[in-house]
Chains A and B, each alone.
Chain A
Amino acid sequence: MKNLVIEGTKYTPEIKSDIQKKEIRFYGSSYPENANEFYQPVYEWVEKYFEKGESVLDVNFYIYYFNTSTSKCFMNLLEILEKNHKADHKINVNWYYSEDDEDSLDSGEKLFMEMDLNFKLIPVDKI
């Protein structure tokens, strides 16, 4: 299985997986023109990762800003992770938020509401 490599732009995050380290990370801002289309390969990669027999994954979000259509996509992604968590896979999600931005924590918190997942909200100086 290949690593997922999506280079970042001003309005889409860099998304990179590291199968060796059992990690996937999101870095940047997310307000694509078509969020559903943009995140499709990510859903597919994560589904495949567990189908191939992997059972541990750290998911790190360093997201500076995301729009509402992205929040819908993050929900879809977290639901895929939730499904795998319930299947006894070890998934840790870290959501890094900017201490200087009051909406940053709020937006992160809301994503994980109603989710059955191991997650941490971690304050950082700057994303």
Chain B
Amino acid sequence: MQKTIDQLLQSAFIEDIKGKTILAFGGVVSQDAIVGLGDVLRSELHFKHSLSIVNKVFAIYIEMTQNILHYSNERTDINGKSFGQGAVMVFECEKGYELVTVNLISEKQHRYLEKKCNLINSLSKDDLKEFYLKRRRKIAETDSKGAGLGFIDIVRRSGNPVIFDFENLGNSEYLFYLRAQMFVD
């Protein structure tokens, strides 16, 4: 029902991003799509940056897209496997890179994500590390795919808080907008 990429392109959430779009994809975010687009992204970055920068942007891209794959509330079943739908865009800006994703979430996910993102944004670099270790120990005991660790990793690698927003669509559904800023010296 959603055309998330169109919504993202028209949204106020990315209005202030001034830069060149180097990657844009909307639809079924399968592992194959993530891997294929990831290759495109890596090779694009590879021309301009050191390995360290390439790997940082790539790692942030992987966490953001795998979040859609696992947790988007809009799902497609293909050959007995379930894939999340959503959109991802990567911009090359004057100061570095901006990565943006959008996907559908439930009311419950909305409450969880709002709390989680605010908490992670409020932590210092050292506290973030501490929190990461604590979370990982805890998560290791459960069946979770690692929810939460991804956000910490995004903030840690990018060196910036995440920017996020929710759009209430009614029927207890929301669009979750997420934006990571990775500045290059």
Contacting A at CB under 8 A, from B103-146, are 129, 132-133, 136-137, 139-140, 143, 145-146
CB distance A65 to B63 under 8 Å? no
By a CB distance below 8 angstroms, the chain B residues around A68 are 63, 146, 149-150, 152-153
User: Are the C-beta atoms of A79 and B140 separated by less than 8 Å?
Assistant: yes
Taking the nearest CB of chain B, how far is it from the CB of A72, in angstroms? Answer: 5
**What is the distance, in angstroms, from B144's C-beta to the closest C-beta of chain A?**
8
Give per-residue flags for B151-184: 1 if the beta carbon is below 8 A from chain A beta carbons, else 0. Answer: 0110001000000000000000000000000000
Assembled-state Cα–Cα distance A29/B9 (Å): 32
Residues from chain A with Cβ under 8 Å of B66 in the complex = 31, 33, 67, 69
Contact with B along A65-82 (1 / 0, CB 8 A): 101110110011001000
Partner-A contacts on B (CB < 8 A): 31, 35, 39, 50-52, 55-56, 58-59, 62-63, 66, 69, 129, 132-133, 136-137, 139-140, 143, 145-146, 149-150, 152-153, 157
Q: Which 6 A-B pairs have the closest CB atoms?
A: A68-B149, A69-B146, A33-B31, A100-B51, A68-B146, A101-B52
